[in-house]
Amino acid sequence: MKHFLIDIEYTAPLEIIDVIVSDHRKFLQTGYDQGWLLMSGPKHPKTGGIVIARAPSMQEIQAFFFNDPYHQHQAATYKFVEFNPVMYQTFLQDWIAGS
């Protein structure tokens, strides 16, 4: 598995984001359910969000986020950064290893 930081930047006003956020979080839950997402949350100030994820490839994580309601409503852009976690808390070992 490869590891990613996904930097989401809102392109729509917060009034629109507030309408979509519930569907966005339901969408993210599907990533948690399949074991791809470790954590996610809004930035402060509220200009977007950050997701820490893993997936078999860059193409697969990008395809996953193609289905995000933020993307489908053209309310956000995404920056995908692949990284190699060489140091981490021991309780994350199984997740990092892809177990």
CA dist 13 → 28, 63, 74, 95, 99 (Å): 21, 25, 11, 35, 39
What is the dihedral angle through the alpha carbons of 80, 83, 89, 92, rounded to the nearest 10 degrees?
A: 70
In tens digits, the chain (99 residues) has pLDDT values of 999 999 999 999 999 999 999 999 999 999 999 999 999 999 999 999 999 999 999 999 999 999 999 999 999 999 999 999 999 999 999 999 987
pTM recorded for the entire structure:
0.95
Q: Are 62 and 14 in contact (CB under 8 A)?
A: no
Q: Where are the domains of the chain?
A: 2-83
**Class of domain 2-83 as given by CATH:** alpha beta
